[in-house]
């Protein structure tokens, strides 16, 4: 009943494939969702105030997301 045990196969994982994706210095999905939300705000309200408010919110949130991001190393 002695079965020969084959060694486990190993595979290299390259760092470029396993790093988190960042966009504008923050997490990609959060930046895109924030941009989508501000674009919806701008096009639903359709005033100059909403354009300025949407841009200000997006810049502020991206700044906060850049502070919150995980370091890649």
Over the stretch 9-53, which tens digit does the pLDDT of each residue have?
A: 888 776 665 566 777 888 888 888 999 999 998 899 889 999 999
Question: Which of 62 and 70 is assigned the larger pLDDT?
Answer: 62
pLDDT value of residue 72? 57
Q: What residues does each domain of the chain span?
A: 20-68
Question: Which of 50 and 70 is assigned the larger pLDDT?
Answer: 50
Q: Among residues 35, 72, 71, which one has the least CA distance to residue 54? A: 35
pLDDT value of residue 44? 92
Tracing tokens 């100059």 back to the chain, one arrives at 48
pLDDT value of residue 5? 79
């Amino acid at each position: 009943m002695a079965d020969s045990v084959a060694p486990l196969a190993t595979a290299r994982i390259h760092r470029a494939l396993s790093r988190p994706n960042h966009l504008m210095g923050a997490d990609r999905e959060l930046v895109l969702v924030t941009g989508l939300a501000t674009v919806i705000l701008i096009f639903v309200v359709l005033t100059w105030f909403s354009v300025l408010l949407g841009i200000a919110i997006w810049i502020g949130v991206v700044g906060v997301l850049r502070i919150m991001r995980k370091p890649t190393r």
